[in-house]
Structure 1
């Protein structure tokens, strides 16, 4: 007896030209034992500098990875920088003198 809908889940009803697979690239790695291999990665991710060798289990280093454009990051703001945004040096000196008077008094 054949059930109705027997092939459900086995066949895709989506048209083959209606989607495009994600871009991929192969990145080469070389281990300390001289073994080289490639790892498929998505085209929009940065490749890690090291990868475990499949044959030897040791760390393998990346081969010929082009340098990515360095992003210009803002320098980290320190507490002093944020304080100077709110107060001037003469104001800070007055506050320091006032607090020192309170501590000594």
Structure 2
């Protein structure tokens, strides 16, 4: 075992694999342009989903794809709150009636957690 040791071979920083006979994956060059007009290219796999924006590795600026057409924005639905959804089912007067009924039941001790119930007068 001692004679098979790889002493001084810088393991981890140097590969002993041979590149002969290795077929590289198909690639494509994508060109990006920064706001100041600087262009740079990025090599990506053919089947990769190509992002619309990429950071220039040299300058750090954000570049946009040269041949990219931004997609049309979809009409967004307005955000509905819980209150909006509640008002779709009931009117405000109905909600006030329900609130009054529930408060009466809560104060009477019929609903709610036991520690909130009012204690009745003890008879002697």
What range describes the TM-score normalised by the shorter chain of this pair? 0.3 to 0.5
Which structure is higher in strand share? 1
TM-score by length of structure 2 reads 0.42
